[in-house]
A and B are shown apart, each in its own frame.
Chain A
Amino acid sequence: MALDSKIPQGEMDKKWEDYKAHVKLVNPANKRKLEVIVIGTGLAGASAAASLGEMGYKVKTFCFQDSPRRAHSIAAQGGINAAKNYQNDGDSVFRLFYDTVKGGDYRSREANVHRLAEVSAAIIDQCVAQGVPFAREYGGLLSNRSFGGVQVQRTFYAAGQTGQQLLLGAYSALERQVALGNITQYSRHEMLDIVMIDGKARGIIARNLITGELERHFGHAVLLCSGGYGNVFYLSTNAMGSNVTAAWKAHKHGAYFGNPCFTQIHPTCIPVSGDHQSKLTLMSESLRNDGRIWVPKVKDDNRKAKDIPEAERDYYLERRYPAFGNLVPRDVASRAAKERCDAGYGVGTTKMAVYLDFASAIKRYGKIEAGKPGNEQADEAGIIALGKEVVKEKYGNLFEMYEKITGENPYETPMRIYPAVHYTMGGLWVDYELQTSVNGLYALGEANFSDHGANRLGASALMQGLADGYFVIPYTLGNYLADDIRTETIPTTHPAFEASEKAVSDRINKLMSIGGTQSVESFHKRLGKIMWGKCGMARNAQGLQEAIQEIQELRKEFWSDLKIPGEINELNPELDKAGRVADFLELGELMCIDALHRNESCGGHFREESQTEEGEAKRDDSNFSFVSAWEYKGDSNWELHKEALEFEIVKPTQRSYK
C-alpha cells in the first residue's frame, strides 16, 4: 500500500483551518449511533474520550490500571508548552513550530507540527477552565519557565506535577461523561487484539485482568492511546505496566510502525544503583533552568563534590554549547554526559553519573531575596537560607523525591544524574488525520510517531497528547465516521470476533503451557540489556547486527523455557507481563533493524559511523530524509515503506546549539 499522509493543500498556516472548514460532519442523531473504542486513558486517551463523549458519540475506554487516573501521563513533571507569548519574549505559533521541527532534527512532518503549535494555546485555556491549578504570579496571571532547546519561556507548569494536574483535569472530564452515560469505562482490562471486518478495525478483544475472561467489544472506530514502548529497555522512566502490546497487535493487522528506533534518552535521571533496580526515576528537565551540570576536570577524582574547588570543575555543557548552555536539547545533553563518563570523568560509586548542582542558583536567588525590603539584615548564611526557600518553592517535590531514593540532600550536595530511556518518538505511523494504515484505526499521543521527529523537546509530550485528544481527533474522526453512519452495530457473534478471540485464547494457552524454568522478569531484563547496550545512546552496525541475532535467540528461549505460575482464569500479573514481554521481544528486533537501516545520526538516534569531527550527530539528508514505516510481513520479516519528508518552511541545516 502506498503511504498517503493526506497533508492538506495550501499554505502551511492555513492547512488546518481549511481542513476544519471543509471536513465532513456527523449530525447529532447519527453520533448517538456511532461507537468509539479508546485504548488507554492517559492524556491522549482521556482527552479524546471526554471530547468525543461530549460530542455525543458512544465511547468505551479501556485501561489496565485500576483507574483511568493512574495512566503514566500522571508522572510527567516539568510542564506543557504553548505559544501564548504571555512573557512578551517573542514567542509565536511560528516559533514553537520552528523550534519543534528543528528540535526533532528535521525528521518530523511539518504540517502536523504546525497544527500542534496552532492548537497549543487552546490547550492551556481548556485546562484552566477545567480547574487545573497551574503556577501563577502574584498578579494572578499564569507563570512560565524555560525548557531545553528553546530561547523563550513558554512552558506552563504546576510545580513538578504538571502531568498529574493535566491528567486529573482530563480524567475529571472523562468521569463526567461516564456519569452522563456517554462513556463506559473498563478498568483492569487489557486490549489483546484488534478485530478486523472487511478491512476495517471494528472492535477489540480485551481481557478482564481480575477474572481472566476474554471480552468482545464492537466499535465503529478504534483509537489507540496506549503510550510509548520505552520499557523494551527494561529500565526506563516508564511505569512498570507501560507496554507496546496494543500498538503491536495493531501492527500485526497492518498498521505500519513509524521510526521505531527513535528513542529519547533523558539526560537527568537518578543513576542505577544496582542489579535490583526495577525502574529509573526522572529528575525533571526544568531543573536545568537552575541546575548546572559538571564533572571534575581530572579523571577518577574521588573527592566529594564540595571539596572540589570551582576552578577544578568542568561545566561541560556551558563549555561546549555557550548559546544554550545547560538547556541544550535532551539528545545533546545525554550524549555529552555519556561522553564524559566513558572518558573517565564520571562521579559517584559507579562513575556513571554527573553532577547537577544548585549551589549557584541558591546563592543567586538568595541575593535577590536579600535585596527585597525587610531582608536587608541577611548575612551569608541568611542569603543561602533565603535562596533555598526559592528553590524549594520551584522544585521542592523533586528534591524530596531525590532524597527519598538516594538518601542524599540535594540542597546541600549536588544531585548525581545519568541519562535514561524516557520517551519513544517512534510509534504507529499515522496520516494527518491520525489514522494508521488500517482503516478506522487511529493512534494518538506517544503511541503515534508523528510530531517529534528524531528528538522530542521538553514539555512537548503533554502538549501533543492533549492536542491530539482535545483538538485534532474530534475533527478528523468525524471525517471518517461521516461515511459510516449507515453501518449498524455489528454483533460480537460475528465470525471475525470469534476468530480473534480464539487466536487470543490460543496464545494465552500457549504461554501458560510452556512450563519452562525461567521467569518473565528474567527474560525482560536480558532483553533490556541487549537493547541498552546495542540500541541505546550510541549504535553501530556491528552491534545492531549482533543484537538482532541475540534477540531472535532470546525469543526462542522465551517460548521454550518460560515459567508462569498461577492460572489463566484469575488475576495473574505474571501472565499479563508475559504477554507484554513477548511483544517487546518482537519489537526490539524491529527497532534494531530500523536503527541499522538508518545509517545516519539524527536526534536521539546516534550512529557512531555518522558524526562530525566534534562528535555531534551528523544527518544525511540526501539519503534519509524520510519516515521509515515498517509493514509486518510475518516472523522477523518486515517491508520498509518510505514517507518522504518535504520541508517547505524550516530548511534543514546542521543543528547547532553552540
Chain B
Amino acid sequence: MEHYNMNLTLKVWKQKNSQSKGSFETYKVNDISSEMSFLEMFDVLNEQLVHDGKEPIAFDHDCREGICGACSMYIDGQPHGPWQQNTTCQLHMRAFKDGDTIVVEPWRSSAFPVIKDLIVDRTAFDRIIQAGGYISVNTGNAQDANNLPIKKQDADDAFSAAACIGCGACVAACKNGSAMLFVSAKVSQLALLPQGQPERETRVLNMVTQMDKEGFGNCTNTYACEAECPKGISVANIARMNKEYLKAGLNTKE
C-alpha cells in the first residue's frame, strides 16, 4: 500500500452532558498518516487538545478490533463511516484524502440520549436482552453437548445472527430510530436453535414489548440498518421476527 499524509478539517459534535445543548466545533489536524485508524486520528487530535489546555473529545471505544461494539461515530452521514461492514475503530485513514472535511456526530436517536460529545446511552439494549434474550438454563443443568445434534445450516444461520455486536448502528441509520435489526438478530438466533424452543413465543413477545417501551421507532423496510450494519446482519431476521411475533401472538392463551 502507498502511504501518504494528509491535513484534515473536522467538524465534531460537542455536548457537555445530557442536559446541555450541543453544537459543532471545528478542528484542524495535520500530518495524519493514511496508515492510522480513524480513532488513532482522534487520539492525535485529543493529544493536541490536551496540550493546548482544551478539553478532549469524549468518545466510546475499547477493543479497537471491531468486536466489542463500543465505538459509535456517525461519520459524514453514515454510522461507522464510509466503509461497508466495518466499525469506526477499523476504519482507516486511507479512506480519506488530503484537504477533506469530515463531520462526526454521535448516534442520533431518542432512545440513545447523548451523555457527552459522541457518547450515547445504549442501556436500552441491555434491558431488551433482560426481557428475554436468553435461554433459561441454570449452570449445571446441561446435558452432553453432542446429545443435541443441530443441522449445520441452522447452526450457521444462528451464528450469523448472533454475530451482532450491539453497537446500535442500525438504530442510528434508521430514519425511524428502529431497533428491529438488533432485536430480531437475538430472536432469530434463539428461534433457530432447538434449545430456544421452550421460550420461543414468550421471548419474542416480551422483547418486542420492551423495545417499544424504550421508545424505538417502527420498521418501514428501508433496509438502511442492514446497509450500515458492521457485521452484515441481514434484514431477513426482521422478517423472521415478524413471523415469530405474529405466530406467538396468535398462540397466546389469555
Chain A residues in the interface with B (C-beta under 8 A): 47, 50-51, 54, 65-70, 72, 74-75, 84, 86, 122, 124-131, 133-142, 158-159, 161, 163-165, 168, 171-173, 175-176, 178-179, 185, 187, 210, 237, 239-241, 273-274, 276-279, 281-282, 400-401, 404-408, 470-471, 474, 519, 521-522, 563, 565-566, 570-571, 573-574
Quote the shortest CB–CB distance from B66 to chain A (angstroms). Answer: 6
Question: Contact at B193–A133, with CB atoms within 8 Å?
Answer: yes
Quote the shortest CB–CB distance from B175 to chain A (angstroms). Answer: 24
Given the interface pairs A126-B142, A279-B64, the reply to whether A521 lies near B35 with Cβ below 8 Å is no
Question: Contact at A404–B1, with CB atoms within 8 Å?
Answer: no
Question: Contact at B139–A175, with CB atoms within 8 Å?
Answer: no
Name 21 A/B residue pairs within 8 A (Cβ), A-sorted.
A54-B138, A66-B121, A70-B68, A72-B62, A74-B69, A124-B145, A126-B137, A128-B148, A129-B142, A129-B195, A138-B152, A187-B126, A239-B64, A240-B61, A278-B43, A407-B1, A470-B140, A474-B139, A570-B16, A571-B119, A573-B56
Given the interface pairs A130-B135, A273-B35, the reply to whether A571 lies near B50 with Cβ below 8 Å is no
Q: Which residues of B contact A158 (CB under 8 A)?
A: 159, 162
Question: Contact at B142–A175, with CB atoms within 8 Å?
Answer: no
Quote the shortest CB–CB distance from B7 to chain A (angstroms). Answer: 15
Q: Which residues of A contact B54 (CB under 8 A)?
A: 565
Given the interface pairs A172-B135, A179-B130, A408-B1, the reply to whether A570 lies near B116 with Cβ below 8 Å is yes
**Chain A CB within 10 Å, residue with most, of B44, B68, B130:** B68
Chain B residues in the interface with A (C-beta under 8 A): 1, 16-17, 33, 35-37, 39-40, 43-44, 46-47, 49-51, 53-56, 58, 60-70, 83, 85-86, 90, 92, 94, 115-116, 119, 121-123, 125-126, 129-131, 133-146, 148-152, 155-156, 158-159, 162-163, 165-166, 189-190, 193, 195-196
Bound form: Cα–Cα A135–B189 in Å: 14
Q: Which residues of B contact A68 (CB under 8 A)?
A: 126
Which 10 residue pairs are nearest across A and B when measured between Cβ atoms? A140-B149, A172-B134, A129-B142, A125-B142, A133-B159, A407-B1, A179-B130, A128-B145, A51-B139, A239-B62
Q: Which residues of B contact A142 (CB under 8 A)?
A: 145-146
Q: Which residues of B contact A67 (CB under 8 A)?
A: 122-123, 125-126, 166
Bound form: Cα–Cα A474–B141 in Å: 14
Question: Contact at B92–A405, with CB atoms within 8 Å?
Answer: yes
Question: Contact at B145–A125, with CB atoms within 8 Å?
Answer: yes
Question: Contact at A574–B50, with CB atoms within 8 Å?
Answer: yes
Q: Which residues of B contact A471 (CB under 8 A)?
A: 139-140
Given the interface pairs A172-B134, A566-B55, A571-B116, the reply to whether A139 lies near B149 with Cβ below 8 Å is yes
Q: Which residues of B contact A140 (CB under 8 A)?
A: 149-152, 155
Bound form: Cα–Cα A407–B2 in Å: 10
Q: Which residue of A lies closest to B85 (CB)?
A: A400
Question: Contact at A565–B17, with CB atoms within 8 Å?
Answer: no
Q: Which residue of B lies closest to A48 (CB)?
A: B139
Question: Contact at A276–B40, with CB atoms within 8 Å?
Answer: yes
**B43 partner, pick from A133, A210, A521, beta carbons under 8 A:** A521
Extra pairs beyond A407-B1, A470-B140 (12, CB < 8 Å): A54-B139, A65-B70, A67-B123, A74-B63, A74-B69, A75-B65, A126-B142, A127-B145, A131-B158, A133-B155, A175-B133, A210-B116
Question: Contact at B44–A276, with CB atoms within 8 Å?
Answer: yes
Question: Contact at B67–A75, with CB atoms within 8 Å?
Answer: yes
Count how many pairs of residues, one from A and one from B, have CB atoms less than 8 Å apart in the complex: 224
Q: Which residues of A contact B36 (CB under 8 A)?
A: 274, 276
Quote the shortest CB–CB distance from A134 to chain B (angstroms). Answer: 7
Question: Contact at B35–A131, with CB atoms within 8 Å?
Answer: no
**B135 partner, pick from A54, A122, A131, A161, beta carbons under 8 A:** A131
**B123 partner, pick from A51, A66, A274, beta carbons under 8 A:** A66
Bound form: Cα–Cα A306–B1 in Å: 16
Q: Which residues of B contact A172 (CB under 8 A)?
A: 129, 133-135
Q: Which residues of A contact B116 (CB under 8 A)?
A: 210, 570-571
Question: Contact at A133–B130, with CB atoms within 8 Å?
Answer: no
Q: Which residues of A contact B189 (CB under 8 A)?
A: 131, 133
Quote the shortest CB–CB distance from B31 to chain A (angstroms). Answer: 10
Bound form: Cα–Cα A551–B211 in Å: 51
Q: Which residues of A contact B49 (CB under 8 A)?
A: 565
Q: Which residues of A contact B196 (CB under 8 A)?
A: 131
Question: Contact at B50–A565, with CB atoms within 8 Å?
Answer: yes
Q: Which residues of B contact A126 (CB under 8 A)?
A: 137, 139-140, 142
Q: Which residue of A lies closest to B61 (CB)?
A: A240
Quote the shortest CB–CB distance from A390 to chain B (angstroms). Answer: 15
Quote the shortest CB–CB distance from A460 to chain B (angstroms). Answer: 18
Q: Which residue of B lies closest to A404 (CB)?
A: B90
Quote the shortest CB–CB distance from A247 to chain B (angstroms). Answer: 18
Q: Which residues of A contact B90 (CB under 8 A)?
A: 401, 404-405
Q: Which residues of B contact A161 (CB under 8 A)?
A: 67, 163
Question: Contact at A277–B40, with CB atoms within 8 Å?
Answer: yes
**A50 partner, pick from B1, B58, B139, B162, beta carbons under 8 A:** B139
Question: Contact at A164–B163, with CB atoms within 8 Å?
Answer: yes
Quote the shortest CB–CB distance from B14 to chain A (angstroms). Answer: 13
Question: Contact at B86–A404, with CB atoms within 8 Å?
Answer: yes
Quote the shortest CB–CB distance from B149 to chain A (angstroms). Answer: 3
Q: Which residue of A lies closest to B53 (CB)?
A: A565
Q: Which residues of A contact B58 (CB under 8 A)?
A: 571, 573
Quote the shortest CB–CB distance from B129 to chain A (angstroms). Answer: 5
Quote the shortest CB–CB distance from B208 to chain A (angstroms). Answer: 15
Question: Contact at A179–B131, with CB atoms within 8 Å?
Answer: yes
Quote the shortest CB–CB distance from B96 to chain A (angstroms). Answer: 14
Q: Which residues of B contact A173 (CB under 8 A)?
A: 134, 137, 139
**B195 partner, pick from A130, A282, A407, A566, beta carbons under 8 A:** A130
Q: Which residues of A contact B126 (CB under 8 A)?
A: 67-69, 175, 178, 185, 187
Bound form: Cα–Cα A405–B94 in Å: 10
Quote the shortest CB–CB distance from A386 to chain B (angstroms). Answer: 19
Quote the shortest CB–CB distance from B71 to chain A (angstroms). Answer: 10
Quote the shortest CB–CB distance from B42 to chain A (angstroms). Answer: 10
Question: Contact at B56–A137, with CB atoms within 8 Å?
Answer: no
Q: Which residues of A contact B50 (CB under 8 A)?
A: 519, 521, 563, 565, 574
**A171 partner, pick from B94, B129, B138, B149, beta carbons under 8 A:** B129
Q: Which residue of A lies closest to B94 (CB)?
A: A407
Q: Which residue of B lies closest to A129 (CB)?
A: B142
**B130 partner, pick from A84, A129, A176, A570, beta carbons under 8 A:** A176
Question: Contact at A164–B67, with CB atoms within 8 Å?
Answer: yes
Bound form: Cα–Cα A273–B68 in Å: 23
Q: Which residues of A contact B130 (CB under 8 A)?
A: 175-176, 178-179
Q: Which residues of B contact A406 (CB under 8 A)?
A: 1
Bound form: Cα–Cα A401–B40 in Å: 17
Bound form: Cα–Cα A84–B16 in Å: 54
Bound form: Cα–Cα A75–B89 in Å: 13
Question: Contact at B62–A133, with CB atoms within 8 Å?
Answer: no
Bound form: Cα–Cα A75–B196 in Å: 25
Q: Which residue of B lies closest to A172 (CB)?
A: B134
Bound form: Cα–Cα A175–B163 in Å: 18
Question: Contact at B63–A72, with CB atoms within 8 Å?
Answer: yes
Question: Contact at B159–A165, with CB atoms within 8 Å?
Answer: yes
**B70 partner, pick from A54, A70, A565, beta carbons under 8 A:** A70
Q: Which residues of B contact A187 (CB under 8 A)?
A: 123, 126
Quote the shortest CB–CB distance from A282 to chain B (angstroms). Answer: 8
Q: Which residues of A contact B119 (CB under 8 A)?
A: 66, 571
Bound form: Cα–Cα A426–B5 in Å: 41
Q: Which residues of B contact A571 (CB under 8 A)?
A: 17, 58, 115-116, 119
Bound form: Cα–Cα A141–B145 in Å: 8
Q: Which residues of B contact A136 (CB under 8 A)?
A: 150, 152, 155-156
Quote the shortest CB–CB distance from B30 to chain A (angstroms). Answer: 13
Question: Contact at B150–A129, with CB atoms within 8 Å?
Answer: no
Bound form: Cα–Cα A67–B128 in Å: 12
**B162 partner, pick from A75, A168, A178, beta carbons under 8 A:** A168
Quote the shortest CB–CB distance from A442 to chain B (angstroms). Answer: 17
Question: Contact at A278–B40, with CB atoms within 8 Å?
Answer: yes
Quote the shortest CB–CB distance from A511 to chain B (angstroms). Answer: 14
Q: Which residues of A contact B125 (CB under 8 A)?
A: 67
Question: Contact at A570–B134, with CB atoms within 8 Å?
Answer: no
